[in-house]
Amino acid sequence: MAGKIKVGVLGATGMVGQRYIKLLEDHPWFEVTYVAASPRSAGQLYKDAVANRWLIGAEIPSGVQNLMVEDANLAEKAIGKCQFVFSALELPKKEDIKNLEAAYAAEGIPVVSNASANRWTEDVPMLVPEINYSHLDVIADQKKHHGWDKGFIAVKPNCSLQTYMMPIHALIQAGYEIKRMVVTTLQATSGAGYPGVPSFDMIDNIVPFIGGEEEKTEKECLKILGTVKDGKIENAAGPIVSSTCTRVPVIDGHTACVSLEFGDKKPSMEEIEKIWTSYTSVPQELKLPSAPEHPIVVRHEENRPQPRRDRETEKGMACVIGRLRPCNVFDIKFVALSHNTKRGAALGGILNAELLKAKGFFDNL
């Protein structure tokens, strides 16, 4: 283990926290040395705290089983035990998560977060490493604004956006303006955490509402596609997005049905497919350990992508697209899929941390 960066997981007992624990088991750069959760779990060994709710289909990593769970509300407890933290906390009030993440940063512990509390903080980058790696530039301003020396906060967007933002970005980067977009998501139950949506609501059913999700879907893409200016991230002007977000009886894997309207310049179907299949970016150039070789995978079968068959593509880090075809209302439509607790949550967070490490943000910890 010598030479690895010591990391903590806040919310380690939850749905996303458990994914972090498992995915970091053999990570080449990071080693879990600190776990924290609510006061309900604090004071127990990790293996006891999750005994009846370990949801990942494999053993709890031996290096973490006997770590003592600490109270995540006490940032000072982490000092000296880990060099940065992944935050997978879910607290009743967003403001409490915001304050808590700032408390860790103020203690000199960088926070790589999955929570939504800081997504709209204008000097906090909301990263999809393939798309907006340049937003890392705002971290220097963030540290300056708060007077933080080593600590800072970087977040990832809502899990459902990961399903279609890379194909959108690939088209924009190739010179095709996207004016309007209609998205209908079919989101997995694991996206609601554990125990999540009651089984009585989920079995033999679809729930056509996820609180706050449509607002996130419609707004977050503008920050992701924005630019760093005057010490903050300035949102992109478009596209205009209209979304409907639904919860479906699938364990893992969010699906999105997307229709796009281009500006005056419209690509052919062949060109779109070429743009998507050749899409690579900085994580691939840097060969980051969790970066998929092919971030966008296009399938040609008429009935794909499907969550059960396609969510593990590129170890759960790909955006899998199928059913690309003309749209009678807009220009094109397609179906996209990604793994919500891997690309959309823990492995996406790990990729963010790998990018931060590769760009020197953990050098002085």
Which residues are annotated as catalytic? Answer: 159, 254
Cβ–Cβ under 8 Å, residues 321 and 296: yes
8 binds ligand NAP (CB under 6 A): no
Give yes or no for residue 353 binding ligand NAP (CB under 6 A).
no
Q: Does 115 bind ligand NAP (CB under 6 A)?
A: yes
Residue 253 engages ligand NAP in binding (rule: CB under 6 A): no
Question: What token pair was written down for 23?
Answer: 């995915």
Q: 88 or 335, CB closer to ligand NAP?
A: 88
316 contacts ligand NAP (rule: CB under 6 A): no
> Least distance (Å) from ligand NAP to the CB of residue 15?
4
Q: What residue has token string 């089983």?
A: 65
90 binds ligand NAP, rule: CB under 6 A: yes
Distance separating alpha carbons of residues 35 and 46, to the nearest angstrom: 8
Cα-Cα-Cα-Cα dihedral sign, residues 213, 216, 219, 225: negative
Nearer to ligand NAP by C-beta: 94 or 359? Answer: 94
The answer to whether 120 contacts ligand NAP (rule: CB under 6 A) is: no
Candidates 23-31, 76-84, 88-96, 130-138: pick the segment binding ligand NAP (CB under 6 A).
88-96
- The number of residues that bind ligand NAP (CB under 6 A) is 29
**CB of 89 or CB of 272, closer to ligand NAP:** 89
Three-state DSSP at 286 gives coil
* Backbone phi and psi for residue 208, each to the nearest 5 degrees, phi listed first: -85, 35
- Residue range at the interface with ligand NAP (CB under 6 A); choices 8-16, 177-185, 265-273, 295-303: 8-16
CB of 84 to ligand NAP, least distance (A): 17
Within 13 Å of residue 103, how many CA atoms lie on the same side as its CB?
Answer: 16
Q: Which residues from 129-188 bind ligand NAP, rule CB under 6 A? A: 159
The set of residues, in sequence order, having a beta carbon less than 8 Å from that of 155 and lying 6+ positions away, is: 112, 113, 114, 115, 116, 118, 119, 124, 125, 126, 127
Of 51 and 240, CB closest to ligand NAP: 51
DSSP states of 152-193 as a string? Answer: -EEE---GGGGGTHHHHHHHHHTT--EEEEEEEEEE-GGGG-
> Can you tell me the distance from the alpha carbon of 323 to that of 181, in angstroms, rounded to the nearest whole number?
16
At position 170, the amino acid (one-letter code) is: A
> What whole-number distance in Å separates Cα of residue 128 and Cα of residue 165?
9
* Interacting residue with ligand NAP among 340, 350, 352, 358 (CB under 6 A): 340
**Residue of 118, 190, 217, 281 interacting with ligand NAP (CB under 6 A):** 190
Counting contacts by CB under 6 A, is residue 246 touching ligand NAP?
no
Site for ligand NAP, rule CB under 6 A? 11-17, 37-38, 40-41, 72-73, 88-91, 114-116, 159, 190-191, 193-194, 340-341, 344-345
